[in-house]
Amino acid sequence: MGDNNLKDKTGEDGGSPVSSSYPVLELLKYPACIIGVDSTLVYANAPFRRLFDADTSIHLDVTHPFFPEYRKNIAVAYTKALTGSEKRCFAVMASAGGKRLPVEIQLIPMFSNGSVSSLLAFLKPVEDNRLTSFDSSTSALVEPDENQVLTSIMEFAPFPIIRINDQGNIVNGSASVESFFGFSLDEMKENRNFLFRSVNLYDFERMRKAITDIITGQAAFKRLGELRIVTRNREEKWANAIIFPVIVSRSIEAADLIIEDITRVKSLENRLSTLNRIQIVGDLTKGLLHSFNNMINVIMSRTQLLLQVTEKDIVTEGLRVIEKTAGETVKQIRRIQDFIGEGENLREHELEDLIDVIEDAIEFSKIHFKVETKERRRQVKIERRYFCLVNVQTDTRILREIIVSMIFKVSSHLKSQGTINLMLKSNGTPVISAHVKKDTGDTEPGSPVLGGIVFSDIDIHRIAEKLNVKIIEEESSDSYSVKAILPQPMIISKVRGEPEVMEFKIRDLDILIVEDEPALKEILFELFDSMGNRVTLCDSGDEALSAYKNGNFNLVLTDYGTRGLTGLELAARVKEIDEKTVTVLMSGWMLTDLKAYKNVVDLFMPKPFQLDSLIKGISKIFQSRER
């Protein structure tokens, strides 16, 4: 009873199951049988054979005498009985006359050599008065009026059920059909195309074939996954469908289509898939940025060296354009690195101009708004006004994220076009505000979307809590604004820092350079060699460590991704030998673990960098040590 079919073990003449082996069971008035562990019907007594008309095999398909809703109970009881436990279950079957016959089934395991070899099954019909003594729902099991029971199911089913006959017409359905499809049941009965046109052609063919297979008896049930359904209001929904036969007098009259709404699950799956794609794109971006950083670094450095030796104005002008363009490219790379949350530069104790932080956030937002102008024809402009000069000391990556979130939050109130006004002012405490006049156009609101994530849904307050920034939102019928009040401990200076004067001259030093980019290695050699230093070049971390042990170097410049020892490992070994040696780590990768190495790396130069910045950074370190 727990397998696909129960096969009779008949005699050689092909007759009924052998009865001479268990004569005592022939004395019973109730149906009884012996079932093998392989689901074989080993023996059946006379009442059993009469009940099941068992001159033919019993199959768990549409011809099975037990009603479908009870087959699972029988299978579970059968499986548990095979473990050695006596089991009972209740089921309703169709009698030879086509009536519903409730029976109680008792399964008793029979042992041989310590293991279950077969099961003894007793079937005892349940009297009607035993059922009606429970409640009205139980008495329905023996009611001859099946339509009454089915109508009750259709009326109270929480999920949509649609009954389709062998002509493909809708003959019945649950009350929840209208709330899902938008069409009333009467409308769908009158015009079945309301159902079939709500799915695409591919899903329609799947549904048509499944219903045909059920009604023709080729399958006991069918399950269709992920049907895309467009409702009357043009709303997209997703559903799974389970199709069962409707059996009356042991013949299939129709098919019930049970709809499981999985729209929310599908939405979560799509968002998860989008996040996975964003992760993949992020990983690819890291690799691309590494290669791009190295290329830009070579262009910038070579341009700066050429500017020192070129005298022709037209050549100098061209080199200046290349240098400026490369510099703007560097800024864009930095913005991307900051936004995707990667990269530490060992400068958490240095000041940064708040206006520069705001400008970075604005430029990143502009990149997104450019895409929106092309893809969604929504034009958003940003105007800014600064009324104070403020330097901050904080995690500027999170601060940029707060400002970007503010810009996107206010932009969600623009439907087709508008201008965001960004302002920085201070009345003792710096305040960044973003304000917008609501667009009253006829189009739908235009919440910025990036990779399936709606930025207007971002909780700015949660992000701001990381830096103790207070967020205030104000909204009226025609405007919306967000203010960020910065905490006083974040504010270090309210004037721009004076330009640094480079006093230490980098000359007459022993310098060790380890770089995996041949062009950049050559440029660094030319730079420091021309300044009057003794420069040694190495191709790997192991070679550099050996050279350092055999030399007397004042400065070690190493790339992060060197062969053998990494740049960080090389810097750590150098500091173990002589902590006075200045170490500079260069990398086109976005590194996240540099804070743990701040006593190992004196200066971190994320690629691409300008040669002037490299020289100033090294000079500053030597200058601080002389004091």
Are 5-142 and 146-261 the same fold in CATH?
Answer: yes
Q: How confident is the model at residue 420 (pLDDT cuts 50, 70, 90)?
A: very high
Region 248-269: what's the mean pLDDT? 85
CATH 3.40.630.30 for the 146-261 domain, yes or no: no
pLDDT at 443: 44
Per-residue pLDDT tens over the stretch 262-320:
888 888 877 777 666 656 655 666 666 666 677 777 777 788 778 777 777 777 888 77
Q: Give backbone dihedrals phi and psi of 550, rounded to 5 degrees, phi first.
A: -95, 0
Q: How confident is the model at residue 376 (pLDDT cuts 50, 70, 90)?
A: confident
Residue 546 has pLDDT above 50, yes or no: yes
Q: Any idea which fold 5-142 has?
A: Beta-Lactamase (3.30.450)
Contacts for 361 with CB less than 8 Å, ≥ 6 apart: 400, 403, 404, 407
Region 239-265: what's the mean pLDDT? 87
Give percent of the chain with pLDDT exceeding 70: 75
pLDDT at 11: 43
Q: How confident is the model at residue 534 (pLDDT cuts 50, 70, 90)?
A: very high
Question: Sheet harboring 491-493: ordered strands across?
Answer: 352-353, 391-392, 491-493
> Which pairs count as long-range contacts for 205-208, CB under 8 Å and 24+ apart, including other chains?
207/241, 207/257, 208/168
Residue 236 has pLDDT above 50, yes or no: yes
Beta-bridge partner residues of 437: 479
Region 167-182: what's the mean pLDDT? 87
Domain residue ranges in the chain: 5-142, 146-261, 269-339, 352-493, 510-626
Q: Any idea which fold 352-493 has?
A: Heat Shock Protein 90 (3.30.565)
Give the residue among 240, 235, 234 at the shortest CA–CA distance from 269: 240
Q: Give backbone dihedrals phi and psi of 372, rounded to 5 degrees, phi first.
A: -65, -35
Q: Encoding tokens for residue 443?
A: 């189009």
**CATH code of the domain made up of 510-626:** 3.40.50.2300
Give the residue among 336, 326, 238 at the shortest CA–CA distance from 285: 336
Region 393-419: what's the mean pLDDT? 86
Distance CA 565, CA 544 (A): 9
pTM score over 0.85: no
Give the residue among 444, 437, 432 at the shortest CA–CA distance from 405: 432
Helix and strand element counts for the chain (H, E)? 18, 27
Distance CA 162, CA 154 (A): 9
